[in-house]
A and B are shown apart, each in its own frame.
Chain A
Amino acid sequence: MNPQVTPVLRLADAGLAFGDRPLWSGLDLDLRPGEFVTVLGANGSGKSSLLKAILGLQPLTTGSISFLGRPVTRGDRHIGYIPQQRLIPAGTPLRGWDLVALGVDGHRPGVRWRGRRSVRAAVEAAVAAVGAGGFAGRPIGQLSGGEQQRLRVAQALVSDPSLLLCDEPLISLDLQHQQAVSRLVDQRRRQHGTPVLFVTHDINPVLPMTDRVLYFAAGRHRLGTPEKVLHSGVLSALYGTPVEVARIGERVVVLGAPDHHEPHHPSEHGGEHE
């Protein structure tokens, strides 16, 4: 097989259930180099659990996941992970640099003793790549949510990941920072061919860069190009209830989807099922 199209990530007949509550099943997904897949769906439909499964933190009920040709392992450091923005409080004794540096060696035991210089070089490059040079030296608790989120992107990229998982990274950011963060993710996959799995409740900020959409609803899912999946007929069949997809200018709005536009429920990300 041509190595160019070997999938970085492969889910085969993957299914996940909590007790007798199935989240999704029969999921087949091949993520190829440079591909941008946006994951949509109602709260509690298992979007974040999918990322947890890929990170090896959540065993599948059925099927398998392989990453770079091998079964996923717990906390694989070839995967970059960008979480949803959670404001780091003022009075945290770390500077922007330090947050990024944890992406290099935060998992290692002990204190950073040797290799300070190489860590510093990697951190500086990553900080520059996300345009955070102007504020990375300031205490992290004094930075805005958007600035902190840029640094989290740098933290995820500093270890040169082969796959990027984004779990609602745009939530509670203003429009400008939403664009900035999604542009940085897009830039990474264009320049390095790192495929992206991007979980979000609003596709619009990432619609221009989305190659395929994975849409979860009512224990089922649909995978395909945005044009194909974001369609009234397709989503109505998926939800099992009439759903209207409207296109207003460049924006896509899904109307009538159960639970879709309710405020984000934090417990989905809060390790409820750990």
Chain B
Amino acid sequence: MNWWERIFNFADYGQLLGLVHNSLIAAAVLGVVGGIVSVFVMQRDMAFAVHGVSELSFAGAAGALLVGASVVAGALVGSILAALAIGLLGARARDRNSAIGVLMPFGLGLGILFLALYEGRASAKFGLLTGQIISVDSPQLGWLIGICLVALGLLVAIWRPLLFDTLDPDVATARGVPGRAMSLLFMLALGLVVSVAVQIVGALLVLALLVTPAASALRVSASPVLVPVLSALFGVLAAVGGILLALGGSLPISPYITSISFLTYLVCRVVGSRKGRVVRMGQ
């Protein structure tokens, strides 16, 4: 079999599609929620925090794999502990980054230790770092979708004050917005989404679904409504599109997801720079 057939292969496509339709739904939900979270990740300058949380989530999932517990639960516990720790330790960017810098290698090291001790399937090990959605079974998928929906509900519930706190924390506090609570609730939502993303694209590639969509959307729009909508759309495009392209080949889905995500960003950059030129000329 040559490389090309391993990368793109659409034989028996209809049959395969039936097998993964649950995964597609999970990916679509993650795409939407990840895209929306990423808008705040960009605005709050939290890309590094996303990475830190995902490594701890990886450690939790690996630990669960080792002791035979649910990987979903393990990822969730690791993720939320890390997210809340980062939220509590660092209100200010510099404190936060040092806290993340300390937590991240610890989590990654812990995860690698657990995987080294684990004697099960090797693909399960690799999957946590680089993605494995096809191997996730239906009841677990239900959990992943549920976790995403809880995160989405949480974000919608705190939307305005979170936006206010993100934009202008001093004024928001003066207007009675509890800044610390906003920060912790946002970290909680982020932790929930990361724990799902770790299981779908893998700990190392979470940024493709939690940073790139909003980074792309912000290139082409500054509207408070359009940016989250576009970002969610780009998230779905990458997550679902990645699975659809990966289906027939024999490779993990993450390179497809990250490539679509990256291409979207490139296109948005080009479109954005053209738009910028038109605006400047119009002035």
A94 near B218 (CB under 8 angstroms)?
A: no
Bound CA–CA A18/B6 (angstroms)? 67
**Which of A75, A93, A110, A269 is the one whose CB lies under 8 Å from B160?**
A110
Chain B residues near A270: list those with CB within 8 A.
Answer: 92
Residues in B146-183 with C-beta less than 8 Å from chain A: 156-161, 163-164, 167-177
**Which of B161, B163, B168, B218 is the one whose CB lies under 8 Å from A91?**
B218
Bound CA–CA A174/B161 (angstroms)? 31
B167 near A75 (CB under 8 angstroms)?
A: no
Bound CA–CA A108/B217 (angstroms)? 26
Bound CA–CA A88/B222 (angstroms)? 13
Least CB separation from A105: chain B residue: B160
A108 near B227 (CB under 8 angstroms)?
A: no
**Which of B92, B163, B167, B174 is the one whose CB lies under 8 Å from A79?**
B174
A76 near B170 (CB under 8 angstroms)?
A: no
Residue among B170, B175, B226 with most chain A CB within 10 A = B175
Least CB separation from A165: chain B residue: B174
- Binary B-proximity of A253-270 (CB < 8 A = 1, otherwise 0): 000000000000000011
**Which of A94, A99, A108, A165 is the one whose CB lies under 8 Å from B161?**
A108
Taking A93-B218, A93-B221, A95-B224 as contacts, is the C-beta distance between A106 and B158 under 8 angstroms? no
Least CB separation from A112: chain B residue: B160
A83 near B222 (CB under 8 angstroms)?
A: no
A106 near B164 (CB under 8 angstroms)?
A: yes
A251 beta carbon closer than 8 Å to chain B:
no
Chain B residues near A92: list those with CB within 8 A.
Answer: 43, 167, 222
B223 beta carbon closer than 8 Å to chain A:
yes
Residues in B222-250 with C-beta less than 8 Å from chain A: 222-224, 226-228
- Binary B-proximity of A45-57 (CB < 8 A = 1, otherwise 0): 0000000000101
Bound CA–CA A155/B164 (angstroms)? 12
Least CB separation from B155: chain A residue: A111
**Which of B169, B174, B223 is the one whose CB lies under 8 Å from A55?**
B174
- Binary B-proximity of A102-116 (CB < 8 A = 1, otherwise 0): 110111111110000
A106 near B222 (CB under 8 angstroms)?
A: no
A106 near B221 (CB under 8 angstroms)?
A: no
Interface of A is mostly: loop
Bound CA–CA A103/B156 (angstroms)? 19
* Closest-CB distance, A47 to chain B (whole angstroms): 14
Chain A residues near B161: list those with CB within 8 A.
Answer: 106-109
A111 near B159 (CB under 8 angstroms)?
A: yes
Bound CA–CA A112/B224 (angstroms)? 11
* Closest-CB distance, A172 to chain B (whole angstroms): 15
B108 beta carbon closer than 8 Å to chain A:
no
B167 near A99 (CB under 8 angstroms)?
A: yes
* Closest-CB distance, B214 to chain A (whole angstroms): 8
Chain B residues near A112: list those with CB within 8 A.
Answer: 160
Chain B residues near A91: list those with CB within 8 A.
Answer: 42, 218, 222
A222 beta carbon closer than 8 Å to chain B:
no
Least CB separation from A93: chain B residue: B227
A83 near B175 (CB under 8 angstroms)?
A: no
Bound CA–CA A256/B80 (angstroms)? 54
B224 near A103 (CB under 8 angstroms)?
A: no
Chain B residues near A249: list those with CB within 8 A.
Answer: none
A193 beta carbon closer than 8 Å to chain B:
no
* Closest-CB distance, A274 to chain B (whole angstroms): 8
Bound CA–CA A105/B159 (angstroms)? 11
Chain B residues near A102: list those with CB within 8 A.
Answer: 160, 163-164, 167-168, 172
A93 near B176 (CB under 8 angstroms)?
A: no
Residues in B17-47 with C-beta less than 8 Å from chain A: 39, 42-43
**Which of B39, B171, B177, B227 is the one whose CB lies under 8 Å from A83?**
B171
Taking A81-B171, A94-B167 as contacts, is the C-beta distance between A107 and B222 under 8 angstroms? no
Chain B residues near A152: list those with CB within 8 A.
Answer: 171
Residues in A37-76 with C-beta less than 8 Å from chain B: 55, 57, 74-76
Taking A91-B222, A94-B222, A139-B222 as contacts, is the C-beta distance between A108 and B168 under 8 angstroms? no
A77 beta carbon closer than 8 Å to chain B:
yes
B176 near A77 (CB under 8 angstroms)?
A: yes
Bound CA–CA A181/B94 (angstroms)? 32
Bound CA–CA A79/B175 (angstroms)? 8
Bound CA–CA A81/B173 (angstroms)? 10
Bound CA–CA A82/B31 (angstroms)? 38
* Closest-CB distance, A162 to chain B (whole angstroms): 14
Given contacts A55-B173, A75-B175, A94-B224, 19 further A-B contacts (CB under 8 A): A76-B176, A91-B218, A93-B43, A93-B218, A94-B163, A102-B163, A102-B168, A106-B175, A106-B177, A107-B175, A107-B177, A108-B160, A108-B161, A109-B157, A109-B158, A109-B160, A141-B222, A269-B170, A271-B170
Report which B residues bind A (CB closer than 8 A).
Answer: 39, 42-43, 91-92, 156-161, 163-164, 167-177, 217-218, 221-224, 226-228
Listed by A's residue number, 5 A-B pairs whose Cβ atoms lie within 8 Å are A75-B177, A93-B227, A109-B161, A142-B222, A271-B169
